[in-house]
Amino acid sequence: MIATIAQGAVEGAEHDGVATFRGIPYATAERFAAPRPAGDWTGVRVADRFGPSCWQGGGGILSVLGGDDLHFDEDCLSLNVQAPTRGGAPHPVLVWIHGGGYTSGSSATRWYDGTRFVQRGEVVVVSINYRLGPLGLMWLGDLEGGERYRTSGVNALLDQVEALRWVRDNVAAFGGDPGNVTVVGESAGAMSIATLLAMPSARGLFHKAILQSGAAHNCFDPHVASEVTSTVMAHLGVSDLAGVLAAEPAQLVAAANRVQQEAFRQPGRLAGGTGISLAMPFQPVVDGEHLPSHPIEALASGASAGLALLAGTTLDEWNLFRLLSPGGLDHPELLDRLDAIAGHGHQLHDAYVAEHPTASPDELWSAVLTDVVFRVPTVRLLEAHARANGSLDGGGAPGYEYLFTWPTPVFGGVMGSSHALEVPFVFDTIGLPGAELFLGATPGPELHELAAVVQAAWLAFARTGDPSHEGLPPWPAFDPSERRVMALDLHPHVLDDPQRRQLACWEGIR
């Protein structure tokens, strides 16, 4: 299979009606600088190997799901295309932005194989790599000489913008419709999409958005980002910009990992001790130029006007991270933590106990972080979107909310419906190697049916801006006064304002 794009000809492979092209460079990266368009080539470029992923630490989802061709480099800006081999009208385009806390992840991850999307929905699937951690988001603007790297706090997002420009200019060569592009992301990928909505350079490059377990609250002001940079430099043992520039990528990543571990032990510290912010030391920086304002403020001012949104979370997001951290909280410690992040610990405690009357302090803390990190920001994103779009009868674009509630039986069931659990259902990759570690034994027909239902919703939304289809009950558009949510489980159903008492506890807290 050969396609001719602006840079030259690329050769992919065909299998089961799907043409796959891997490792196409969309831009080039130099340390801490904005991405530049990739160069051209002569002849036919063989696109049969994933491009390098950004330098990152070990562990994480890559250690479980990995990929057949994982390798790392600072110049990591490539993408993959999967498209129908049949002709026909231009196909809707899905652009996948992977998660990983802005510090890990790769488009080569097995879960992100778009084969079933293409086969079931006649769409074109594009997946991208982008810069991560200090290489993509470390703010240098307050260092002497740092004005040369004015994009350093948003380079990961500018990489994504460059990839979307590539899609606009080239996806027609693969049968895709550049006028019908849906961005899809999970975790930091979803946070990226919310940030792209607030970036002037991204406007017009996509037309619909699906945000899985991530919303519009994960950005830093420069003074917080400078604190992160100072901490990284201390771990590197350098005192100026020259030292940062001279560091090997593995050294930068190792120092960043130590900062990440410190932040994970103290959730909220980087937000000043209170507020809704995940313990992620590398987040886009509101620099006033490339990212003029916080994404949630931009959405409230109409940044998502005219774009249909589908957003949601899993029921027990934080249970995945709970497995990675020591337990043993007692009630006084829990109340101290609740006071630290909200200032009214007893009120929070009572509201969550009412919803989870038999839960241990560790389980209550996990439920709180599920909401404060994921669910509350998602609801606020949809509320801001709904207000800015006004009456749907007047032409505003709708929003839709889902809650993925199927609980995995692994680890004795303690994960419940945890973070990232919906991803293999979205891609219908539940039978691929590694998935059993999250899903249990070989998936039965009921899980394959759930995957088909979930993927059909994503496909319907990509085509029309409405996730409804015949395999689901009627899916109402999000209304802030009702907050009706589609529960995605073995028997999908609509929930009326679920967990309203818990969510009410966070009103007025940023």
Supply the residues annotated as catalytic: 187, 317, 419
> Which structure tokens are listed for 254?
């190792």
Cα 221 from chain centroid?
A: 20
23: CB partners within 8 A, 6+ apart: 47, 48, 49, 50, 51, 78, 80
Query: Rg of the Cα trace of the chain?
Result: 22
H or E stretch covering 92? strand 91-97
Q: CB of 318 within 8 A of CB of 364?
A: no
> Which structure tokens are listed for 452?
């088909």
- Strand runs labelled E in 242-380: 308-314
Neighbours of 48 (CB within 10 A): 14
Residue that the structure tokens 């972080």 belong to: 369
Residue 412's Cβ-count burial label (10 Å; 0-12, 13-18, 19+) is exposed
Half-sphere exposure of 232 (CA within 13 A, CB side): 30
291: CB partners within 8 A, 6+ apart: 153, 154, 157, 195, 198, 199, 219, 284, 285
Give the residue from 183, 83, 69 showing the smallest Cα distance to 125: 83
Give the residue from 55, 105, 112 showing the smallest Cα distance to 80: 112
Give the C-alpha separation, 141 to 225, whole Å. Answer: 10
The CA distances from residue 29 to 41, 75, 108, 152, in Å, are: 18, 5, 19, 12
- Read off φ and ψ for residue 378, nearest 5 degrees: -65, -45
In which order are the strands placed within the sheet that holds 8-11?
2-5, 8-11, 44-46
Strand 27-28 with 18-25, pairing: unpaired
Strand 18-25 with 78-84, pairing: antiparallel
Q: What sign results for the dihedral spanned by CA atoms 218, 222, 224, 230?
A: positive
Q: CB of 130 within 8 A of CB of 107?
A: no
